């Protein structure tokens, strides 16, 4: 890992712990190149709604703008939504890092649910009847805030910080065929395009999956989740969970619909952190994440097809 990239992650953790990441962490102002083989003709693809009604850390015109720009290039029609009950069957709903108002700038336990029981029941029925949901819940507090919604589909988050066994846990996480943390699926095996042999994530959460789900990014014995009382503040007594048979990405056919659950958000977008030393990149435009764009395209296509 380069010294610059290492400094980037150290800075990120410091900013988060002092609650200033909202101003320092932002979407990178990048131009998405034209896609030679878009999945759909321009503005003729499925409708994709990005949730911004639940204090989402990532929204269409904010930190998720690069994601929005990317899938627009692939022919999807993208909009934001605040009232989930306005969504229609066949639409794709993307929820990224929702959080309860009480925890929006208070990343300490207790972590309250971002979605009401009524919203959870509505989304469960919506998916069952044909809706498509991409649920992304990053490290604490986001994993905890979305766990009620995840539970409705059989997933269960560790509301903490998931790490692979490695020399420096501030490095990006690599899930690959080689290290046996990436599992075979139509998302990565070339069925939808380029075959993908590894994927890069940037410190997220972990979860268990229902038996009907298909894991994509899987942790190994010795990988671990740290679940502190306050985000990013770890001590010798911080709760630690071994992540054998836990996941950071999975897909599920649910009734007539589909659900994809991921425990890391930066992998889906392009962000920067700026300090006195310069501006540092993390996300799908990072030199460490050459396969993330194709993975996103494949995943969205999987969600879009019957």
> At residue 2, does pLDDT exceed 50?
no
- Count other Cβ atoms within 10 Å, centred on residue 77: 17
Residues paired with 26 in a beta bridge = 272
Distance from C-alpha of 280 to C-alpha of 282, rounded to nearest angstrom: 7
Task: Report pLDDT for 50.
Answer: 95
Report the distance separating Cα 56 and Cα 100, nearest Å.
Answer: 9
d(CA 46, CA 94): 13
Name the pLDDT band for 272 (thresholds 50, 70, 90).
Answer: confident
Enter the pTM of the model: 0.91
Give tens-digit pLDDT for 232-257: 999 999 999 999 999 999 999 999 99
Alpha-carbon distance of 195 to 206, in angstroms, equals 25
Distance CA 4, CA 278 (A): 10
φ, ψ dihedrals at 162, nearest 5°: -95, 135
* pLDDT score for 22: 43
| The predicted structure's pLDDT at residue 193 | 85
Span 137-182, pLDDT tens digits: 999 999 999 999 999 999 999 999 999 997 667 788 999 999 999 9
> What residues does 250 pair with on adjacent strands?
215, 261
For residue 92, the cross-strand partners are: 48, 132
Does residue 34 carry a pLDDT above 70?
Answer: yes
Report how far residue 68's alpha carbon sits from residue 204's, in angstroms, rounded to the nearest whole number.
21
Please identify which residue in the block is written with the tokens 């208070």. 106
Q: Give the C-alpha separation, 276 to 268, whole Å.
A: 26
Token pair for 149: 């919604």
| Per-residue CA distances from 164 to 43, 169, 198, 258 (Å) | 40, 7, 14, 28
Q: What is the phi-psi region of residue 190: left when phi exceeds 0, alpha when psi lies from -120 to 50, beta otherwise?
A: left
Let me know: does 267 contact 201? Beta carbons within 8 Å.
Answer: yes
Judge contact between 1 and 40, C-beta under 8 A: no
Examine the pLDDT at 291 and tell me if it is beyond 60: yes
Opening angle at CA 78, ends 265 and 193, nearest 5: 70
pLDDT of residue 270: 86
């Amino acid at each position: 890992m380069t010294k610059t990239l290492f400094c980037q992650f150290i800075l990120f953790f410091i900013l988060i712990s002092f609650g200033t990441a909202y101003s320092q962490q932002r979407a990178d102002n990048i131009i998405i190149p034209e896609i030679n083989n878009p999945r759909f003709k321009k503005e003729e693809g499925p409708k994709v709604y990005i949730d911004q009604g639940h204090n989402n850390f990532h929204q269409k015109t904010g930190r998720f703008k690069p994601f929005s720009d990317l899938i627009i290039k692939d022919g999807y029609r993208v909009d934001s939504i605040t009232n989930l009950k306005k969504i229609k069957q066949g639409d794709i709903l993307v929820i990224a890092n929702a959080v309860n108002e009480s925890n929006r700038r208070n990343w300490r336990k207790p972590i309250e649910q971002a979605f009401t029981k009524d919203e959870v029941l509505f989304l469960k029925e919506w998916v069952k009847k044909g809706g498509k949901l991409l649920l992304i819940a990053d490290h604490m507090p986001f994993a905890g805030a979305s766990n009620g919604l995840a539970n409705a589909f059989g997933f269960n988050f560790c509301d903490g910080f998931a790490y692979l066994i490695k020399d420096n846990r501030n490095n990006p996480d690599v899930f690959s065929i080689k290290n046996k943390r990436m599992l075979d699926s139509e998302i990565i095996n070339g069925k939808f395009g380029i075959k993908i042999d590894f994927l890069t994530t940037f410190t997220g959460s972990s979860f268990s999956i229902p038996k009907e789900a298909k894991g994509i990014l899987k942790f190994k014995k010795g990988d671990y989740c740290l679940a502190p009382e306050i985000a990013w503040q770890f001590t010798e007594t911080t709760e630690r969970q071994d992540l054998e048979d836990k996941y950071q990405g999975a897909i599920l056919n649910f009734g007539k619909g589909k659900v994809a659950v991921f425990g890391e958000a930066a992998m889906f977008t392009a962000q920067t952190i700026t300090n006195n030393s310069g501006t540092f990149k993390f996300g799908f435009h990072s030199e460490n994440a050459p396969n993330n764009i194709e993975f996103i395209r494949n995943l969205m296509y999987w969600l879009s097809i019957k």
